[in-house]
Amino acid sequence: MNNTAALRDMSSIRQQQSRFEGLTPGHRACQGCGQALAARLVLESSGPDVVVANATGCLEVFTTAWPQSAWTIPWMHSVFSNTAALAAGMEAAFKARDISTKVLAFAGDGGTFDIGFQALSGMIERGHNVLFVCYDNEAYMNTGVQRSSSTPVAAATTTSPAGIARTGKRHLKKDIVAIIAAHCMPYAATASVAYPNDLKDKVRRGIQTPGPAFLMIHSPCPLGWMHDSAKGIEVARLGVETGLVPLIEMEYGQQTSAMPLRRVRPVVDYLKPQGRFRHLFADDPMARQELAHLQALADHNIAHYGLQESQPESGDSHAAASVRRGTVAVVPPGAV
Amino acid sequence: MAERMTRGGFAQPGSAMAFKTGSWRDLVAPRHLHGLAPCAGACPAGEDAQAYLAPLTNGDVKSAWEILVTANPLPATTGRICHHPCETACNRGQFDEALAIHAVERYLGDAALHNQWAYPGIPQTTTEPAVAVVGGGPAGLACAYHLRRLGHAVTIFDALVEPGGTVATSIPPYRMPKEILQAEARRILETGITWQGHTRVGSDVDLDELRREFAAVFLAPGSQRTKPWDVAGVVPAQLHDGLALLHTWMEVGSMPPWHKIAVVGGGNTSVDVARALKRCGVEEVHLVTHNGLPWDAEDPMRAIAREVRQAMEEGVVIHANCGAERLLLRGNRIIGVVLVAMKKMRGADGKWHRHGFPGTEQVLMVDEVIPAIGQTVDPSGFESLLQGLDYFDVDHHGRMTHHQGLYAGGDARSGSSGMASPAIGDGRRAAAAIHAALCNNPLLPEKQRPLVPITEMHLQYFETAPRAEPSILPVAQRQGEAEIEQSLTARQALDEAVRCLSCGNCMICDNCWTFCPDQAVLKLNHTIQGDGSPYVFDMAFCKGCGICANECPTAFIRMAPEQDEQG
Amino acid sequence: MLEVRIHGRGGQGNVVAAYLLAHAGIAGGLHAQAFPFFGAERRGAPVAAYVRLAARPIRLHAAVRTPHFVIVQDEKLLGLEETTAGLVAGGGLLVNSPADQATLHARLGERMQGRNWQTFGVPASDLSRQHLGRNIPNTALLAAWAALTGVLEPAALEQAMTARLKPGMLQANLEVVRAMGSLVAPGAWHDLAHHALYDGSAQHQETGHAGAA
Amino acid sequence: MLEPLEGSQAIAHAVALARPGVVAAYPITPQTHIVEHIAKLVADNRLRCEYVSVESEFSAATVALGAAAAGCRAYTATASQGLLLMAEVLFNIAGLRIPLVMTCANRAVSAPINIWNDHQDAMALRDAGWIQLYCASNQEAIDTTIQAFLLAERLELPVMVCVDGYILTHTLEGVSLPTQEEVDHFLPPYTFAHTLDSRQPLTLGTMVAPDHFTEIRYAHDQAMYQALAAIEEVDAAYAGITGRASGGVLEVDGPDDARIGVLCLGAVHGTLWEGREQARNLPPAKLIKLRALRPFPEAALRQALAGLSDVVVLERAFSPGAGGIVAAEVCRALYGTSTTPRIHSAVMGLGGRDIPLEAWQQVLALAQGPSRGATVILDLIPDHLEDGIA
């Protein structure tokens, strides 16, 4: 672009942004990191009156290379598996001190589905007023892409590689939301970085929920999913459009909403751009079977969550992530 | 540089801003491309539809009109009569339905007339002597208007009393109400143009005289002379020319008392003649054209599709891909015409020819066969310039080869399609050329912007929406001068503007701002002059991931090799 | 330093008895320590609890191995070797039993050989049933032990019971204590108890209060 | 009159007197009575705090950590397996310099599983960066618990108060509880310089690269050394208010002419003291009660052991393949002094095995005997060994 504006003082422009920047640039996330984006969107929605407990993982590592921090909210990292308990402790302290600051907990899928699950279950059972956000990139990315219980079936990771005898991960992705919802959970939802308005709405709802709330955000990892760094949003959107990533809300164990699919795409559209599924396109009966398996899972999701049952409300741009012409904050003179 | 250790290793908020991740970029960086929307690329008048649709989405009708008239001063006119290649080119046509750009254009034109808006940005006259414009049709009016915008004094010479040229004389009022054209023409003249009506070059004024008295002369006399016509060498004794009939009907309001007529030709005039005949009570009106129907993929006729459709609604029978092979005569009197099926094919010489297929002949019994096959320049007064040609030989900017200070455009120039919109474009480009010449400036080529094909758009961000259709007068009520197609409602116009995909240009959707994982896209509280967007890239942090470009719905952002650039 | 071991079954209030006794000791101006047998036994299993009483601060944190007194809450436990294990020669054995001394000695059989234990049986369960409506013999036994040894003033025991028993149970238990007072011979174990309490030095015997260690 | 309180109950009262904002608890024998008593105090509204019944020790430590970071005085308690489950978080708390207090009701570590007292659990965590104070009586447990909060908050270091499981936790003794006024006077309201506060945001728990990691560890180490003086000061300040001191970093008593010293940690000190009282025919000996294991009071030890010819270090834990842990540290402390005594490393009382009065004789015999060169388990029962094990 031509750069009259770029020559201006960027920091003063940055200070005038009409959104809250809880996570600043200067973080060391990979190019096109879905988790960095998701975390910023979460904080954009939560505003500054929050405290974050963060699990060990990429998000922690790339934001806090001492002496620098990319966080502008109070933030704390303890260890990998205790994030929910850390948040619970903060929340208990705020309760004891009569402070209204909302406590958020951030963890990846490993820190949610696997090593952090016990603490999370305990936190929910005890009813702590915490919004737990799981940035789900479907593997242990921080340590170099090892499989987690969130890794989808057939995805290749460094510990579930594809080979002559294996087509990637042999086990299903754990249905964590159902498990969470089964705690008589006031609010549990899934979101995707490809649908930022929906995501932000769900953060708001989670924050407004008195008591525990859970939000799982499908967050593409270009490194681990092996797609072009520019394609993160596209891949995430395809995940939703194929039905493999249902965007739902559950309240007290009951599903209360599902983002309707405008048009359903075949799972291959989602799988093709991702290197972790490359082996499924080999001329091999096992690969074909797993492809069919993934399609069946998507079909099952569509039926199970009713992804095609409801019609989008008119003007429901959240669900479509559609755009329309916007305006700048200051209306130009002469506008009607 | 040594950092002092903090107890427990805590860090200050936002201190990572000191770490400039812009150095991570690898070869490419995001850029605002300013691509050319196909509609703009296709508009012969030089309009950029998406540019004026943008303010309209916010209900800003006046701004929209003001942007529109930077290219075309006659939107209420062209909105009615233009064949709108913009809509054919519109990317949205490949998504659901093309935008009804012509209808929005007309809506804006009508709104301006209704509100009596004046053209913005007309300066005081700065040059003397003035520029002469010969011909007050769309080309002449447009040239004069743009010259005025550039500060020049202009005098228009026209053989007729009223401005408008062929549009005024040859387009039936049911599709081009006279008062609309006159109002727009008057508004142009009111920018400070001297109107010398009833002055025909060649008889009332001499071209050389004009060249002496004026700094430059723009010739847009139109094409007034009917092309010769015959069928297999036979010309009816009493040939009725279509255009002449139309003029008569528009002036007198009646036609000879015929029952069955065949009109030959594939342009708008033939359709207008056919429809006028129908209105005058002719029972059977046949339109015979070599071309296919306007909506056919191959070899479509030039007449505007909607006009053809309306003609058919009104009972005109179209014989497409047909030619008149022979006239059936009883003495001098025509009793019928033999038609034959035709197809445009490439011949052995590699050129396109139309072939008739023997055995497909059919006889149409008619009272008269009326050719409406177009006109050429009336050479009187311009013989020295034409030198036997029936058009003015000009370059892209209307400059006449070998004739310094002479410019031409409109129907009279080489390669004209006889349409109003290209004539307006001719006038605008010639005005720019004249301006450059008078100011002794080099004539800069028009800024070339890359066209944005639909394949580069990110259509997942758009939802289908039906195209706005103006209300159409029912066939039974199509009488007299009543205009058939109505203006869009304000709501329709706004909805239609919202449908614009904004190809190649920023629609302020916030996607880049929202999706950048590094907050390297910042948003200003105003759009940047010359950029059209309120977004700037903070290259100190941009890692070059390309998400902004991949998620830009309009292909406004592209990843491009980094150049030596500030910031 | 006087050491007592109380035997019973899990759930019979053995630890409560020990804590009551220690509490009463402290209330009476002595130093005291009480603790259960550190085990993983469940309800119903034979268990033990321990009490130390002294006129000087007690620093010792070892197990009680050679108690001066053994209190048995359930006479069936008499049959177990460990019930009398380590009881000092001439020590006191208080059994919750209506049986007379001869019968109890007969039950101990060869274990009595050369030990010269002073044995008493008291109908603690009967008293408990009578006043509490159920068999919780611990307070009756403590009352008997207090009366026999004269180490604890009735007021001290009452104070301990007031502090540790549930209010609803207190009155009936106090009646048990009073009733027991008339069933035993006061001071029968006086010398034995005071000798232990004051580490064998007789000069403190009459004070009944803790002196310097 | 002294209050007859079970050790656990006494500790619970001491915690309550410190007015914690958050207590996190997960039950494990023999810590259970402590958290049960605190729960009851909360239920009876005698203690106003957030009592968080977590799902594991890991979370107990973490909740306390989160609460302390979020501006509340926080407390938790555990033992044995629970302490080891906490291990990762305990290192983390210390590294983050979070002030909080935890009671460790010392117990053996499995396998074989054993619920009884020894010191193996706390010993295993001695490098976690926590201050570790050992209590010899229920009175010391009360006093040390209250002092621990002041120490932790003053130094921004976590404090582990080690109390022998069962031997103290389940034993009723007459104790003196300070009044609430006294404790309030002694212990100011909780402050933490890096409290999580949305009005003054800070980032806690960053990743520190090789270029600064050493310095952060060094600073932690220095803070621990500074704690030695602080432990003494706080103990003295507490004594100034209550009249009771707990022995600072260590306490020595015995005749000046004694040539033998016996060093121990925790409740066994009383047993040895009583043993010495009752065995007056044996040579005079000094008893050294080591209260602070971390920081390790090297200078105080050198002073305390000066002039002795033999020192027995009696421990309830050891490092398999290396012997007595504290003995090794005592050796290190004395290494290079001009009159280094002989150090005899002795182990007793593992997994709840009773250390009787007679242990004193064994200990003295060890001191008077030839150097054994290796750690001796004084109460080993050879008959219990499988054949073939020496």
Residue C209 lies in a domain: no
Q: What is the mean pLDDT of residues D359-364?
A: 97
Q: What is the pLDDT of residues D339-359, one digit of tens each?
A: 889 999 999 999 999 999 999
C212 pLDDT above the threshold of 50 = no
Chains A and D touch (3+ CB pairs under 8 A): yes
For residues B482 and B37, what is the distance between their CA atoms, to the nearest angstrom? 35
Q: What is the pLDDT of residues D83-105, one digit of tens each?
A: 999 999 999 999 999 999 999 99
C211 pLDDT above the threshold of 70 = no
Strand partners, B226: B375
For residues B30 and A24, what is the distance between their CA atoms, to the nearest angstrom? 20
pLDDT of residue B124: 86
Q: Is B149 helix (H, G, I), strand (E, B) or coil?
A: helix
Please indicate if any CB of chain B lies within 8 Å of the CB of A28: yes
pLDDT of residue C182: 85
Residue B239 lies in a domain: yes
At residue B552, φ and ψ (nearest 5 deg) are: -75, 115
Beta-sheet pairing, D131-134 with D292-294: antiparallel
Residue C185 lies in a domain: yes
Please indicate if any CB of chain C lies within 8 Å of the CB of D378: no
What length does chain C have? Answer: 213
Dihedral, B99, B103, B108, B113 alpha carbons, nearest 10: 170
Question: Is CATH 3.90.1820.10 correct for D3-242?
Answer: no
For residues B511 and B543, what is the distance between their CA atoms, to the nearest angstrom? 17
Q: Is B131 helix (H, G, I), strand (E, B) or coil?
A: strand
A331 pLDDT above the threshold of 60 = no
The answer on B338 and B205 residing in a single domain is no
Q: Provide the sign of the torsion angle of the four alpha carbons C38, C41, C43, C48, taken in this order.
A: negative
CA atoms within 13 A on the CB side of D40: 10
- Every domain of chain D and the residues it spans: 3-242, 252-384
* Residue at token pair 């909506």: B295
Q: Which of D96, D205, D216 is facing B5, going by the closest CB pair?
A: D216
Q: Is B203 helix (H, G, I), strand (E, B) or coil?
A: coil
The CATH number of residue C82's host domain is 3.40.920.10
Q: What is the pLDDT of residues C46-71, one digit of tens each?
A: 889 999 999 999 999 999 999 999 99
pLDDT of residue B20: 95
At residue A214, φ and ψ (nearest 5 deg) are: -135, 130
CA nearest A59: which of A42, A45, A47, B4? A42
Among the listed ranges B184-188, C3-7, C9-13, C132-136, which one has the minimum average pLDDT value? C9-13
Calculate how close chain A gets to B154, using CA atoms only, in Å.
Answer: 31
For residues C82 and C55, what is the distance between their CA atoms, to the nearest angstrom? 28
For residues B344 and B340, what is the distance between their CA atoms, to the nearest angstrom? 13
Contacts of A20 (CB under 8 A, 6+ apart): A43, A44, A46, A47, A48
Residue B7 lies in a domain: no
The answer on B52 and B185 residing in a single domain is no
Q: Could you count the other beta carbons within 10 Å of the beta carbon of residue B341?
A: 18
Q: Which of B63, B498, B545 is facing A31, going by the closest CB pair?
A: B545
| pTM metric for this prediction | 0.89
The answer on B61 and B26 residing in a single domain is no
Q: Is B559 helix (H, G, I), strand (E, B) or coil?
A: strand
With contact defined as 3+ CB pairs under 8 Å, the chains touching B are A, D
Number of domain units in chain C:
1
The answer on B352 and B271 residing in a single domain is yes
Considering only CB atoms, which chain D residues are within 8 Å of A119? 55-56, 58-59, 62
- DSSP H/E element including B324: strand B322-330
Tens digit of pLDDT at every position of chain B (567 positions): 457 777 888 999 999 999 999 999 988 999 999 899 999 999 999 999 989 998 999 899 999 999 999 999 999 999 999 989 999 999 999 999 999 999 999 999 999 999 999 999 899 887 677 999 999 999 999 999 999 999 999 999 999 999 999 999 889 999 999 999 999 999 999 999 999 999 999 889 999 999 999 999 999 999 888 888 888 888 887 888 898 899 888 888 888 889 999 999 999 999 999 999 998 889 999 999 999 999 998 889 989 898 999 999 999 999 999 999 999 988 888 999 999 999 988 888 888 888 889 889 999 999 999 999 888 888 888 888 888 888 899 999 999 988 889 999 999 988 888 889 999 999 999 999 999 999 999 988 877 889 999 999 999 899 889 999 999 999 988 887 889 999 999 999 999 999 999 999 999 999 999 999 999 999 999 989 888 899 999 999 999 999 999 999 999 999 999 875 543
Q: Which of B345, B373, B401 is the last residue of a domain?
A: B373
Residue C48 lies in a domain: yes
Q: Provide the sign of the torsion angle of the four alpha carbons D4, D8, D10, D13, taken in this order.
A: negative
pLDDT of residue A317: 56
Q: Could you count the other beta carbons within 10 Å of the beta carbon of residue D103?
A: 29
A315 pLDDT above the threshold of 70 = no
A285 pLDDT above the threshold of 70 = yes
The answer on B525 and B552 residing in a single domain is yes
Q: Is there a contact between A29 and B518 if contact means CB atoms under 8 Å apart?
A: yes
Please indicate if any CB of chain D lies within 8 Å of the CB of A72: yes
pLDDT of residue A8: 58
* Comparison of pLDDT for A107 and D372, the residue scoring more: A107
- DSSP tag of B95: T
By C-alpha distance, the chain B residue nearest A320 is B461
CA atoms within 13 A on the CB side of D113: 5
CA nearest B69: which of B112, B119, B115, B114? B119
- DSSP H/E element including B328: strand B322-330
Q: Say if residue C52 is exposed, middle or buried (CB neighbours under 10 Å; 0-12, 13-18, 19+).
A: buried
Q: What is the mean pLDDT of residues A146-150?
A: 97
Q: What is the pLDDT of residues A197-209, one digit of tens each?
A: 999 999 999 999 9
Question: What is the domain range of residue C116?
Answer: 2-204
Considering only CB atoms, which chain D residues are within 8 Å of A90? 66-67, 69-70, 196
Q: Could you count the other beta carbons within 10 Å of the beta carbon of residue C202?
A: 10
Q: What is the pLDDT of residues A50-59, one digit of tens each?
A: 999 999 999 9
Beta-sheet pairing, C46-54 with D203-204: unpaired
* Most confident residue range from B254-258, D159-163, D383-387: D159-163
As given in the structure block, the two tokens for residue A190 are 């899934």
For residues A105 and A115, what is the distance between their CA atoms, to the nearest angstrom? 15
By C-alpha distance, the chain D residue nearest C19 is D172
% of chain C exceeding 70 in pLDDT? 94
State the fold for domain A23-308: Rossmann fold (3.40.50)
Q: Which amino acid is at D21?
A: G
Calculate how close chain A gets to B462, using CA atoms only, in Å.
Answer: 5
Q: What is the mean pLDDT of residues A40-67?
A: 96
Beta-sheet pairing, C31-36 with D50-53: unpaired
Q: Could you count the other beta carbons within 10 Å of the beta carbon of residue B251?
A: 9
At residue B146, φ and ψ (nearest 5 deg) are: -70, -30
CB A49 within 8 A of CB A102: yes
Q: How many CB pairs under 8 A join A and D?
A: 166
Three-state SS string over chain D comes to: CCEEEEHHHHHHHHHHHCCCCEEEECCCCCCHHHHHHHHHHHHCCCCCCEEEECCCHHHHHHHHHHHHHCCCCEEEEECHHHHHHHHHHHHHHHHHCCCCEEEEEECCCCCCCCCCCCCHHHHHCCCCCCEEEECCCHHHHHHHHHHHHHHHHHHCCCEEEEEECCCCCCCEEEECCCCHHHHHHHCCCCCCCCCCCCCCCCEECCECCHHHHHHHHHHHHHHHHHHHHHHHHHHHHHHHHHCCCCCCCEEEECCCCCCEEEEECCCHHHHHHHHHHHCCCCCCEEEEEECEEECCCHHHHHHHHCCCCEEEEEECCCECCCECHHHHHHHHHHCCCCCCCEEEEEECCHHHCCCCCCHHHHHHHHHHCCCCCCCEECCCCHHHCCCCCC
* Residue at token pair 């048990």: C176
Q: What is the pLDDT of residues A212-266, one digit of tens each?
A: 999 999 999 999 999 999 999 999 999 999 999 999 999 999 999 999 998 899 9
As given in the structure block, the two tokens for residue C203 are 């000069």
The answer on B349 and B257 residing in a single domain is yes
By C-alpha distance, the chain D residue nearest A88 is D63
D193 pLDDT above the threshold of 50 = yes
- DSSP tag of B244: H
D252-384 sits in which CATH class? alpha beta
Q: Is B119 helix (H, G, I), strand (E, B) or coil?
A: coil
For residues B403 and B394, what is the distance between their CA atoms, to the nearest angstrom? 10
The CATH number of residue B53's host domain is 1.10.1060.10
List, in sequence order, every beta strand (DSSP E) within chain A: 50-54, 75-77, 102-108, 130-136, 187-192, 213-218, 248-251, 254-258
CA nearest B319: which of B303, B341, B296? B341
C173 pLDDT above the threshold of 90 = yes
Strand partners, C175: none
Q: Is there a contact between B58 and A21 if contact means CB atoms under 8 Å apart?
A: no
Q: What is the pLDDT of residues D224-256, one digit of tens each?
A: 999 999 999 999 999 999 999 999 999 999 999
pLDDT band at C210 (very low <50, low <70, confident <90, very high): very low
Q: Is B535 helix (H, G, I), strand (E, B) or coil?
A: strand
The answer on B361 and B285 residing in a single domain is yes
Best residue of A80, A82, A101, A129 to probe chain D, by most D CBs closer than 10 Å: A82
Question: What is the domain range of residue B253?
Answer: 228-373
Please indicate if any CB of chain D lies within 8 Å of the CB of B4: no
Peptide bond between residue D24 and the one before it cis (omega within 30 degrees of 0)? no
Please indicate if any CB of chain C lies within 8 Å of the CB of D269: yes
Number of domain units in chain B:
4
Domains D3-242 and D252-384 share a fold: yes
pLDDT of residue A318: 61
At residue D92, φ and ψ (nearest 5 deg) are: -65, -45
Averaged pLDDT score across all residues of chain C? 89
CB C52 within 8 A of CB C64: yes
Residue B368 lies in a domain: yes
Q: Say if residue C35 is exposed, middle or buried (CB neighbours under 10 Å; 0-12, 13-18, 19+).
A: buried
